Chain A
Amino acid sequence: MSGTANIMPPASLITDAEMELRAEVRAFLAEQRAGGRRVWAVDSWLSSWDEDFSRELAARGWVGMTVPVEYGGRGRTFKERFAVVEELLAVGAPVAAHWIADRQIAPSLLKFGTEEQKRAYLPRIAAGESYWGIGMSEPNSGSDLASVRTRADRVDGGWTITGSKVWTSGAHRAHAFIVLARSAPLDTDARHAGLSQFIVELAQDGVEVRPIVSMNGDQHFNEVFLDGVFVPDSRVFGEIGRGWQQVTSELGFERSGPERVLSTFPLLTEIVQNVAEGRLDLDADLGRLVARVTGLHQMSMAVSGALQRGESADVSAAVVKVMGTTTEGDVADYADLLLGDGSDVTSELTRLTTRAVDQRPGFTLRGGTSEVLRGVIARGMGLR
């Protein structure tokens, strides 16, 4: 009878086996940090690209973890992957290179890919060597993704794709992306029909990647122009006409992870460090934030438990994403309110804060905006 009793799966504690795995990852990360050659950052899963690090993680079995062994993966459980990923995010490890491939491309390939596609791509993804982008948004299609105008036209032996994708994170370094395109004319009564997905390699003829510079001068996303790009039938992803269902499933993988809570966790750690050193006063607002992040960790554990059991978690994942992305942004703002020209904080705190404040607007946009996700929650409660 209770509304939320249905939204949130029951609490899920960390098992001893998961704790051992976490300890292994922590030991590895501590060693890496002592070595000091990497950058530890906020929002590292979007912007800290380090291919050597990706390969090192893969060598330890921490990329493509849930991919079956026969496709070069490790055949581990969803919850084990969750544990590893949380540990990596908590320190701000440079995981951007393999992030999208590991998070959503591998599970989507397993769900919708052909046998040949799985054999062609999964082993290299699991080796931390194959990097992917997300080809959903377009200049005129953001939240309203079903309105994409990129066109797929049937030709002999395949399709040609024409149009442009935008905000494509990492496309300037990635190898491939999955493009959502309209393969049949728009039927205004069935807008979700006639969409399909295609695997496009970014080095292909007709693909042009143009950088988009972010407000702080960095570059992490791009505009990608597709000018009659030929996609053979063997690179159609899933079924023609089923693009909407597939992309919804892909978004499920994209939305439900702990990166929607932990983008600023390295900053939170540094704030606490400054408090411990007596550079900042201890106040109640800090406790409120730490408590919320802890609660969000517990909620994402519960969601991952549900996904592990094969239950649908669209609504609970939306709940975590709305609150998680708000809270990780609140951490940035909390820090920013403490800093001023009179403060005596570590330079690391200043560096992380500046970065967090710049990245923050994206937190509640990417992967579906908070407004759109509130709609998902409302629908889940039967209001739409």
Chain B
Amino acid sequence: MNEDFLTPDADLLEMLDGVFSSYREAHAPLAGRLTLDREFWAELDELGLVRLTGAEDKGGSGASWVEGRALVEAAVRHGVRVPAAENDLLAGWVRDAIGIDGVDAVSNAVSTVAIVDGNGVAKNVPWAGEADTIVVVWLVDEGYLAAEVPAARVRLTPGENMLGEPRDTIAVELDSIIGSPVAAETVAELRRRSALVRAVQVSAALECSLDLALEYVPVRVQFGRPIAKLQAVQNLLADIATETSLARSSTDSAFTKALVEGWSAEGLDFLVAVARSCAGHAASVVVRNAHQVFGAVGTTREHRLHEYTRAALAWRGEYGAVRSWDLQVSAAARNAGPGGLWALIAR
């Protein structure tokens, strides 16, 4: 099988690194609730990054999720918080999949997506307060409906995750909007994509923690030698590397399966749950060990470590707590039937 298409374009990677690093150099991250820098968003739009994976005939750049993932990872690496994944990989995808026309807004409008309950309420909707439109999905007797709603028509109660990223509660008057029907499978796909986006972000944050630690230990000298030479410190790093590898491999496997066999591939739900469980538990070890390696300086606002460690902790519980993913894996194992456990894992 030729899997070259799984490697993102090198020029794009370089461009992404350039864009995010220069933005980061000019803009130190702020504390408190984050807002979206519209100027930067406009810059991303000019570069074709705001709807990177959208179809070209719908104003997108026609890239694949491989590139979409690379963008999300670059943002993590440089500690730049933007709703790129929510806007492009989730809201943008679902809008195009359903065929609803975007609200006639400017091309660089910011969108997010929410699955609301029967009362039109959804909690922890990422970036809702900063969005121009929200793609709302809800269930009625006949099945799922969706509509893209201007943010102004949504009642919003602000909330944030521990990074300060908006995670708002929204309430929509469902009676006042007309929805287009959505296949249940499309909603299932949306859930898979959402969950996997967070696994990608957690894995990237863990890798960055490892990289930072690897840069630090050869230069930090105690007892007359670099702490890199202490076996106890080496063990901390070896375990960071091991857990990070698990997070990456399990995320990669689900991702690769989705790209090769499609987002409705049999067994993908299981692989997504596995990735979320593995990445979630990996974060426990990586965060603990990375902070241990850095000593006191790693606990300061000024140091960059928290941009990765706190991010990993914040994201690992979004679109489902780690424990809920563990339980989903348990249930899949039980339901696999006698002798079915291995067939569930190796297929």
Interface residues of A, Cβ cutoff 8 Å to B? 1-5, 7-8, 10-11, 13-15, 19, 22, 26, 30, 86-87, 90-91, 265, 268-269, 272-273, 275-276, 282-288, 290-299, 302, 316, 319, 322-323, 371, 374-375, 377-378, 381-384
B contact patch SS: helix
Known pairs A288-B277, A291-B329; A298 contacts B253 (CB<8 A): yes
Cross-interface CB contact of B328 among A26, A30, A287, A374, cutoff 8 Å: A287
Given A4-B241, A323-B246, A374-B234, 7 other A-B contacts at CB below 8 A?
Answer: A2-B208, A288-B329, A290-B329, A295-B249, A316-B245, A377-B242, A378-B234
- Bound form: Cα–Cα A2–B6 in Å: 17
Known pairs A297-B345, A381-B237; A288 contacts B326 (CB<8 A): yes
Determine whether the beta carbon of A287 is less than 8 Å from that of B1: no
Determine whether the beta carbon of A4 is less than 8 Å from that of B248: yes
Residues of A near B1 (CB, < 8 A) are 13, 15
The answer to whether the Cβ of B217 comes within 8 Å of any Cβ in the partner chain is yes
- Bound form: Cα–Cα A123–B313 in Å: 55
Determine whether the beta carbon of A291 is less than 8 Å from that of B273: yes
Known pairs A4-B245, A322-B242, A383-B228; A90 contacts B237 (CB<8 A): no
The minimal Cβ–Cβ distance linking B212 to chain A, given in whole angstroms, is: 10
- Bound form: Cα–Cα A67–B255 in Å: 34
Residues of A near B241 (CB, < 8 A) are 3-4, 7, 319, 377, 381
- Bound form: Cα–Cα A248–B273 in Å: 38
Determine whether the beta carbon of B245 is less than 8 Å from that of A374: no
Determine whether the beta carbon of B210 is less than 8 Å from that of A4: yes
Residues of A near B218 (CB, < 8 A) are 382-383
Mask for B328-339, Cβ within 8 A of A = 1, else 0?
111111111111
Determine whether the beta carbon of A91 is less than 8 Å from that of B207: no
- Bound form: Cα–Cα A234–B208 in Å: 53
Determine whether the beta carbon of A374 is less than 8 Å from that of B235: yes
Mask for B244-258, Cβ within 8 A of A = 1, else 0?
111011101101110
The answer to whether the Cβ of B160 comes within 8 Å of any Cβ in the partner chain is no
Determine whether the beta carbon of B334 is less than 8 Å from that of A282: yes
Determine whether the beta carbon of A295 is less than 8 Å from that of B210: no
Which 6 A-B pairs give the minimum distances between C-beta atoms?
A287-B329, A287-B330, A291-B277, A287-B326, A378-B234, A284-B326
The minimal Cβ–Cβ distance linking B188 to chain A, given in whole angstroms, is: 20
Determine whether the beta carbon of A295 is less than 8 Å from that of B278: yes
In this complex, how many residues of chain B approach chain A with their Cβ under 8 Å: the count is 63
Which of A295, A299, A323 is packed against the most chain B CB atoms within 10 Å? A295
Determine whether the beta carbon of A287 is less than 8 Å from that of B242: no
The answer to whether the Cβ of B176 comes within 8 Å of any Cβ in the partner chain is no
Cross-interface CB contact of A272 among B3, B253, B334, cutoff 8 Å: B334
The minimal Cβ–Cβ distance linking A210 to chain B, given in whole angstroms, is: 35
Determine whether the beta carbon of A290 is less than 8 Å from that of B211: no
Cross-interface CB contact of A284 among B210, B235, B323, B339, cutoff 8 Å: B323
Known pairs A298-B250, A298-B253, A323-B246; A90 contacts B346 (CB<8 A): yes
- Bound form: Cα–Cα A275–B214 in Å: 43
The answer to whether the Cβ of B341 comes within 8 Å of any Cβ in the partner chain is yes
The minimal Cβ–Cβ distance linking B33 to chain A, given in whole angstroms, is: 30
- Bound form: Cα–Cα A37–B252 in Å: 41
The minimal Cβ–Cβ distance linking A187 to chain B, given in whole angstroms, is: 25
Determine whether the beta carbon of A299 is less than 8 Å from that of B246: yes
- Bound form: Cα–Cα A290–B273 in Å: 11
The minimal Cβ–Cβ distance linking A357 to chain B, given in whole angstroms, is: 20
Determine whether the beta carbon of B274 is less than 8 Å from that of A291: yes
Residues of B near A283 (CB, < 8 A) are 327, 330
Determine whether the beta carbon of B342 is less than 8 Å from that of A286: no
> B200-248: which residues lie under 8 A (CB-CB) from chain A?
207-208, 210-211, 214, 217-218, 228-229, 231, 234-235, 237-239, 241-246, 248
Determine whether the beta carbon of B249 is less than 8 Å from that of A384: no
Determine whether the beta carbon of B234 is less than 8 Å from that of A295: no
Known pairs A3-B211, A286-B330, A287-B328; A268 contacts B242 (CB<8 A): no
Residues of B near A30 (CB, < 8 A) are 339
Cross-interface CB contact of B334 among A5, A275, A377, cutoff 8 Å: A275
The minimal Cβ–Cβ distance linking A12 to chain B, given in whole angstroms, is: 8
Known pairs A13-B253, A90-B342, A276-B338; A290 contacts B330 (CB<8 A): yes
